[in-house]
């Protein structure tokens, strides 16, 4: 059974809510085990143990937060071992055009360097779910669809 890690950093709760919605979407795909963890509670072995790894954090100066970058940097210990796993990213920002897409891309860049598989989104937020402040109904939908999409991808790949 595919194991999924959703690791998030959230200071005021907006990204945390997004993480919960993504997990909810994931769980609609039969048999998916989802582990939802704060970045502070995540160890790099969690990444090694998971088939799908999703990172989320607020947009800080247009890139991922220091806590997430620290985890990404530590994951170099398993460079080569995350190859072929599925990756994903999401973020909450204060403003439209406040750097949310570049934040997602900064996370996905790290995952691509690990050799991970990234699925883009044809309809909706193309790189991964974004929310301006707390997720509204539309962001909630984006998150749930994203979880479901990556869940289905992992089922397809594990066949």
Interface with ligand FMN (CB under 6 A): 10-15, 58-62, 92-95, 98-99, 133
> With the C-alpha atoms ordered 156, 110, 89, 97, is the resulting torsion angle positive or negative?
negative
Closer residue to ligand FMN, CB minimum distance, 98 or 147? 98
Nearer Cβ to ligand FMN (39/153): 39
If the CB atoms of residues 38 and 126 are measured against ligand FMN, the closer one turns out to be 38
Q: How far is the CB of 82 from ligand FMN (least distance, A)?
A: 25
Is the separation of the CB atoms in 34 and 154 below 8 Å? no
Task: Find the residue with minimal CB distance to ligand FMN.
Answer: 98
- The least distance separating ligand FMN from the CB of residue 1, rounded to whole angstroms, comes to 29
Q: 72-92: buried (b, 16+ CB within 10 Å) or exposed (e) per residue?
A: beebeeeeeebeebbbbbbbb
Q: Which residues neighbour 130 within 8 Å (Cβ) at sequence distance 6 or greater? A: 90, 91, 92, 93, 100, 101, 104, 139, 142
User: Nearest distance from residue 92's CB to ligand FMN, in Å?
Assistant: 4
Closer Cβ to ligand FMN, 86 or 107, answer by number: 107
For residue 55, the minimal CB distance to ligand FMN (Å) is 13
Report the nearest approach of ligand FMN to the CB of residue 42 (Å).
16
């Amino acid at each position: 059974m595919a194991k999924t890690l959703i690791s998030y950093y959230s200071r005021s709760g907006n990204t945390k809510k997004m993480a919960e919605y993504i997990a909810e979407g994931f769980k609609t795909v039969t048999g998916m085990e989802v582990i939802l963890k704060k970045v502070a509670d995540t160890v790099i072995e969690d990444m090694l143990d998971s088939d799908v790894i999703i990172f989320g954090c607020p947009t800080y100066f247009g890139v991922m937060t220091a806590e997430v970058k620290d985890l990404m940097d530590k994951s170099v210990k398993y460079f080569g071992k995350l190859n072929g796993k599925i990756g994903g990213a999401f973020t909450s920002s204060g403003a439209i055009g406040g750097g949310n897409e570049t934040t997602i891309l900064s996370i996905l860049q790290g995952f691509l360097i690990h050799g991970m598989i990234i699925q883009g989104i044809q309809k909706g937020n193309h790189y991964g779910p974004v929310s301006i402040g707390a997720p509204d109904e539309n962001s909630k939908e984006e998150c749930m669809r994203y979880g479901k999409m990556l869940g289905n991808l992992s089922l397809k790949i594990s066949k």
